[in-house]
Structure formats: structure tokens, C-alpha cells
Structure 1
């Protein structure tokens, strides 16, 4: 059903849905447009509306052949619940839909798409805008005008992830994004810079070539851990020059990655060597391409189903990785509940928490008392042994009363 957005736009039908909202085919003063309506809970946040208004100039001013242009920003609506971006209409599918149909692209097609997106990123980064959510769903493929040439790749949703993830009310934003494409420095808690887009884009390139992401599979927490601790597995059949370039952009240290303009130039340089190469002939990391057929009644067991992707690939652990901030493993004292420990074991009311200053002072006092008691017991035992061995023969040998000389007494330890 048609719906008015602001005073100039009307929506007709849904083109797609995402985590932040719904994209509609719409109509405006200059013809068809795409209108991204943010979710109602987001649109109802006055802080978010203020941030969008503040970034309006930057969003509207970002123009490039490989970036979906933003034409207008609508805040308000009849009931005050609309927050929408009015964008250029791209009539082709997104890269995710294309990959679901083709599974893998030829090296030439995949690199051509990545080079175009990197070119668009170079302009955005120069303007101080980081995308932060590059993934196949946010890369649109506009068919060639004559229908015979390759499609044009365009990046959409610029700035949306940043605006939605801004800290609210003095709090800190969490790890926001799709785990498969999140750069390791974000997992480690650093602010996202332009290098996170390079990491995500080359992850998309890897997926377009292989049919799967380098660190995907399993629980999202396991995926985030791999982003920090593992190296990407090399792709057999890929020219070494392209793989070396991809490895550099998947480096754990952000400073080691290429800038967007450099990446676009390098990808264009390797394109001619990729012409005519077929899609890579590789299997999925979690088993065969086809699931085994079910056993016929009375027939042989076809074998176990493919195993899940392991949480850690032992042969791909990056023990010498150069991360921007290295992740530190807590020591035994911290695990036991030290002053800055991670363990928090139950304790009785009034009992000092393990590792606290009060607990440490009490521990020191107990140790001093134990040393004093132990020294006293040792002195008593030594004295008793001497008396049994020597006795008192009544002779005057310079000993004091009781037959003991001061120099013969065992030393007494003091606290």
C-alpha cells in the first residue's frame, strides 16, 4: 500500500529488508527512488534523529560512480515516526543474491567488483566517512545499460552503521556488524578507522572467490575469536600476486593494510592476468559440496554428515600476529580472583574479596604470624634436644642458672 514519506515521496513496494530497516521502491519529484525507512524503534530515538540531521551534509555530499547517492533525508512524517534516507534507485540485485545464485564468481568478476568498491571507498575515506558495515548485502550490482557488459558495483548504506552505533547517554557502543566481516581491532575494542573497511572488503572478495568467508562458521563468538587469532587459509588456484595482495589487506594490524586508493589501483593492475580463469575449484571448509543421499531401505550407510567448521584450525593459528593491541591472557592469580581478576567466587558476608587491598593486608599479617609461630616451635624443639643430649652435670663452666650459656641458645626469629 502506498505511503507518504515527508511531503515529496511515496513508497510503493518493498525491495529489501535489513537489520536497520526496510528499503522501498518509491517515487519522488524527479522520478523513481529507493527509500530506506529505519526501524520504528530507531526512528523514535530523538538522539539518533539529531545525529542524522547533523550528518546530513556529509551524507548528501558523498558522490561517486560506485556509491549509491543519497538525495534527501526525511525526519518526522505525519506522526513524527519517520526517519528515512532517499537514495538513487539501483535496479540490479545485491551481491549476496548474486552469490547465492552463482555461488562463486570468476577471479576476474570478483576482483572487478572489489576494485570498483575500493575506488568508491577512497573518496569516502578522504571525506572522513567510514562505512563500517561492508558486506555483500550492501554492494548493489547495476546492470549495464546495453545489457551486454559487466554490471557496475555500488556501495550503499554509507554512514548508517556509524550513526546507529554512536554512544548514547555517555555509554559505549558494542561490537556492531556482521561477525564474518568485522576487523580484529573492532573485536579488541579500538575505534573503527578506514582500515576496517579495507579488511571487510577483502573478506567479501575472499567470499566471492571461495564461496565462504575466511573465518565464518559456528557461533558468532567463535567467528570473532578467529578474526583475532587465525590466518586466512590460502585459496588454491589463485594467482600468487592476488593472494599476496589479499593477505596484506587481511593483516591483523590496521597499519599494515593498504589504503582504499592503493587497493583499487593494485586490483586493477592484476585484472588483465585474470581474464579467462574459471571459478576456483575448491570444496567448502565443512565437508563435501553435496550432502550424502539418504540410505535406501536395507542399503549401506552413506556415512556421517559433514562436520561443522572447527572453532580453531590448529595449522592456521597466528601465534606471532602483530595486532594493534595484543590480547593478553589472564594469569593464574587473575583467574583466581586477583585485584583485577576475572573470577568472582561467592564469599561470606564481611569476608574480603580475594585480591582486594583488605584481603592482601590480612594475608600478609597471617604470613608474619605463621613465621613467628614456626620459629618459636623450632627454638623450643632445638632447646629440648640440647637438654636431652647434654644434661646438667653441676660443673661451673660459665653457664648461667639452669646450665645454659647465652651463646649456646638457638637463635630466636623475630617477625
Structure 2
């Protein structure tokens, strides 16, 4: 049903729904447009309307071939409660839909898309704008030209909705699979959070799943802070080093957007002819689909995908890796990783990459490891106990006391918390 937005635009049908609002196909004075109408509960907030009005110039001023341009900002409507962004209409799917259809992309295609988006981020960051919600749903693919062109949309929306004074809850805002560690740890978002999210998208385009996704959102956020991404086999070492550097826990270690775009484009000739990676898919029993794991994901859109029979998104098992990352580098260390760290593989990752047909770690092996750990702990406790008694004997002289009586060992508290009347010798 047609609906008027402001005095110049009319919407006709829904193109998609997200966590912040609904995108409509619309018509304006200059032809077809896409109109993003914010949710009614957001539009009813007078502070939010004021923030959008304040940022109008910034939202309308971002121009780049890989940015979905904002043509107009509408505040008010027939019921004086609409807040809508009028944007260029991109004829093509979003990256999420494309990825669900293709499962994995060839390395050259994945890197070309990522380079396009990095170029868009470079322009935004130069203007002082941080996107804060880079993910496949916010990357559109224009298929009308001779080649596919990736465009980033929804600039500024996450920032405006998540102003500190809005709600006052102080929680983590975003989709957990793409949230940078410093956001989890409470630091304000800078340009580096967009780099982390974008390279997480690159990893997903190559592997078919995100490096730290799967399971409860809280577990995903924990992995973002404490674990390293599993290395992807079958890609040039230089590309893996770049991915690893941009997934560094320390924001200062990551490349800037302009550097990332340049490095990725330099790699494109080396990726010609490489097929999509041939690695094992997550097992069905390893965890819920990624859509269910991502708090803050577009619930309405996910419901539409389920109803349409779209394939489930990849899941990563909710288990700890073989070895925890005891030397984790968080934002508190703020240093650039050395060459040895960049060349390292997966340590403490939520999922270890395996080739097709390679058996996954079985419960029997993990059970045996647990039993070995318990035996080791029991042995250590026994050694500590013997050492304590030996140390007491040493300091007491190892023999009779000065008055000729045998030394009395220290009293031991018996189970139940009561102290016996007579000392108890272990």
C-alpha cells in the first residue's frame, strides 16, 4: 500500500527489514529511491530526531562510488512521527543473500568486495564518521554494470541511535560476530572497529563462517577478546598476514582503511584463478545457526529468511580450543605484533579448520584428556601435602623438641569445620 513520506516521497513495497527500521522501494521527484523508515519507537524519541537533524550535513555529504548515497533526510510526516533516510536505489542483493546462495566466494571475489568497502570506509573516516555496524547485511552489490560493485550503506545510523544518553544502558551494541574487542571491553568506538568488522566479513566470505561466531552471544563476545582466528588454508601467506593483522586485539595494530584498500588491490592479481576454499563445514550438532547466535541481528529479516526456506547460516562449535591464548594481546597492550606472531596459526580458537572428510575431535579423546588433567591435579596436591609436612619437620629441627618430647605436628581441621581435641597427623 502506498504511503507518503514527507511531501516529496511515496513508498510502494518493502525491500527489507532490519534492526533499526524498514527499507521501502519509493518514488521521488527524480525517480526511484530507497527509503529507510526508522522504527516507530525510535522515531518517537525527540532526542533522536534532534540528533538526526544535527547530523544532516554529514549524512548528506558522504559521496563515493562505494557508498550508498543519502539524498534526503525526512523528519515528520502525516503523523509527524516519521524519521526516514532517502537513499540511492541499488539494484542488486545484499552481501548476506549472496553469501547464503554461494556459501563461499573465490578469494579474488572476496578480496575485491572487501577492497571496495575499505575504500568507502577511508572516505568516511577522513570525514570523522565511524560506521560501527559493518556486516554483510549492510553491504549491497550493484550488478547493473559490467562488474559487481560493493556499496556500504547505513552510515551514521548506529552512532545516532546509540548515543550515550539514549537509553543509558551502556551495553554492547552491534552484531556479536563483528564486534571489535575494544567495544566489548567498554572503550569508545574509533575507526579501527570498522576495520576489524570488515576483515571479519572477509574471513566469512572466504570460509563460509565468522572466526568467532556460534553459540550464545556472550560466548561470542568472550572469544572476540580472548582468542585468535583459525588460519585459513589455501590462501597466499600475504593475505593471511593481512587478515591476522586487521583482526589484532589491539586497535593500534590494525591497518587504516586507506592502507587496507591499497594492500587488498595489490593482492588481486595473485588471486586470479583460485577456487573457493575447500574446507570442512561446521557439523550440524556443533551449535545453532549464526543468525540465532547474533544478538542484535535483524530479527525481522531473519524471520523472513526462515519463512522463505533460506539455508541456515554457518555455525561454529561452542567449545574451547586446544590451547588457550595465554599471551593474549588486548587493547591494553597497544603494540604492533611482530612477524612471528603474524605468521602463527590458530591458538585458542573456537574452531580449528579441517579439511573435508577429516574427523572432528571426538568426545572420547577429550574425556581421556580430562582424566589425565584430574590425575595430574591429584598428584600435584599430594606433592604439595608432602612438601608441607617436610617443611614443618625441617623448621622444627626434624627430631625431638627442647624439652625432650616428640614434636607435635600442626593441627588439621577435619571435614565439617570442627577442630579435633587432639592433633590429627595426616
Structure-to-structure mapping, 1:207-218, within 5 angstroms: 207-218=204-215
Q: Which residue of 1 aligns with 2:67?
A: 67
Higher RCO, Cα 8 Å, sep 6+ = 2
Task: Say whether 1:247 aligns with 2:244.
Answer: yes
3-state SS, counterpart of residue 314 of structure 1: coil
**Cα offsets for 1:387-407 (capped at 9, x unmatched):** xxxxxxxxxxxxxxxxxxxxx
* Separation (CA, whole Å) in 1 of partners of 2:211 and 2:316: 15
User: Structure 1 residues 169, 214: closer, same or farther in 2, change over 3 A?
Assistant: closer
User: Structure 1 residues 307, 17: closer, same or farther in 2, change over 3 A?
Assistant: closer
Structure 1 length normalisation: TM-score? 0.72
Q: Which residue of 2 aligns with 1:51?
A: 51
**Cα offsets for 1:315-334 (capped at 9, x unmatched):** 3x3221221137xxxxxxxx
> Could you say what the CA RMSD is over the residues aligned between the two structures, in angstroms?
1.9
Q: Which residue of 1 aligns with 2:107?
A: 107
Any stretches of 5+ residues in structure 1 without a counterpart?
290-305, 327-384, 386-415
Which of 229, 232, 241 does residue 232 from structure 1 map onto? 229
Q: Which residue of 2 aligns with 1:318?
A: 325
* Separation (CA, whole Å) in 1 of partners of 2:329 and 2:125: 24
Q: Which residue of 1 aligns with 2:95?
A: 95
The CA deviation at 1:308 is 6.7
Checking the alignment, whether the CA contact within 8 Å between 2:213 and 2:315 is kept in structure 1 is no
Which of 246, 249, 264 does residue 267 from structure 1 map onto? 264
Checking the alignment, whether the CA contact within 8 Å between 1:116 and 1:264 is kept in structure 2 is yes
Checking the alignment, whether the CA contact within 8 Å between 1:204 and 1:213 is kept in structure 2 is yes
User: Structure 1 residues 308, 280: closer, same or farther in 2, change over 3 A?
Assistant: closer
Q: Which residue of 1 aligns with 2:152?
A: 155
3-state SS, counterpart of residue 121 of structure 1: helix
Checking the alignment, whether the CA contact within 8 Å between 2:49 and 2:83 is kept in structure 1 is yes
Structure-to-structure mapping, 1:305-344, within 5 angstroms: 309-315=317-323, 317-325=324-332
Checking the alignment, whether the CA contact within 8 Å between 1:11 and 1:27 is kept in structure 2 is yes
The CA deviation at 1:307 is 10
Q: Report how many aligned residue pairs link the two structures.
A: 307
* Higher radius of gyration, 1 or 2: 1
* Separation (CA, whole Å) in 1 of partners of 2:167 and 2:276: 49
* Separation (CA, whole Å) in 2 of partners of 1:318 and 1:189: 21
The CA deviation at 1:150 is 2.6
Structure 2 length normalisation: TM-score? 0.70
Checking the alignment, whether the CA contact within 8 Å between 1:182 and 1:196 is kept in structure 2 is yes
Checking the alignment, whether the CA contact within 8 Å between 1:165 and 1:173 is kept in structure 2 is no
- Please identify, of 233-242 and 254-263, the stretch whose mean Cα deviation from structure 2 is larger: 233-242
* Separation (CA, whole Å) in 1 of partners of 2:65 and 2:198: 17
**Cα offsets for 1:24-45 (capped at 9, x unmatched):** 0000000000000000000000
